[in-house]
Amino acid sequence: MRAVGNLLDSIYDVLFCPSPALRRIGEESRWGMAVLVYLVCLILPAIAMGFFIKTLGFHKFGGMLVAAEVVGRFMLLVLGVAVLHLVAELFGGKGTAKGLLAAMCFAHLPQLLAVPFFVISMLWASSFWKALVPLVSVAVSCWTLVLNIVAIKEVYQISGGRAVLIFVIPIIAVLAMTVGLLILSVAEFIPENAGW
C-alpha cells in the first residue's frame, strides 16, 4: 500500500511542483514503476484517440493506429533517452540514463489529462468538443515538452539553458541529416549538363 501512496505522491508532485519531483525520481531511478506509468500514459490516451478516430469515420484504422503509436512511442522514448544521455554527458551532466528514463516517463503524465476531452467529444458529437480536442492535444504536448526539459535539467543538475540545448541538439542533427539526404537525392536526378 505504501508503494501506491508513493506513486500517487509522485504523480501529484510531477504535475504541480515538477522540479523537485523529477529530481527525486531521477535520483531514485525506479525505472520499472516509471515505465509502467509511461505505458499507462500512452495506452489510455491512445485508446481514447482510437475511439475518437472511429467516430470520425475511420473504423478500420483505430486499433492499428493505437498499437503503432504505443510501440513506436515507447521505442522512441528509449532511443531518445540514450541519445539525450550521451549529449548530456558531453555537456558535463552528472545524471544517469536510468534516472533520465524514469524522470522522462513521469514527464508524460499530462497526457492522461487529455483522455476526458477525447471521451466527452465521443459522447457528445458536437463540433465544439471535436474542435477542442486538437487544442487540448497541443496544450498537453507543450506541457509534456516542458516537463521533459525540466527532467533533463534536474536529472543532470544543469541550467535550464543547457537542458534546452541538450534537448534541441538531437532534433537539429536529425533535421540536418534529413535535409542533407534530401539534397543528395534531388542532386542525383539533376542531369550533369543542366547548365549550372
Q: For residue range 124-183, what is the model confidence (pLDDT) as tens digits?
A: 767 777 778 788 889 999 999 999 999 999 999 999 999 999 999 999 999 999 999 999
Query: What does the pLDDT read at residue 193?
Result: 62
Max Cα-Cα span within the chain: 76
Query: What does the pLDDT read at residue 118?
Result: 76
Q: Which residues contact 104 (CB under 8 A, 6 or more apart)?
A: 38, 77, 80, 81, 148, 151
Q: Does position 33 have pLDDT exceeding 70, yes or no?
A: yes
Query: What does the pLDDT read at residue 62?
Result: 62
Domains in the chain: boundaries: 2-189
- What is the value of pTM for the model shown? 0.84
Query: What does the pLDDT read at residue 1?
Result: 55
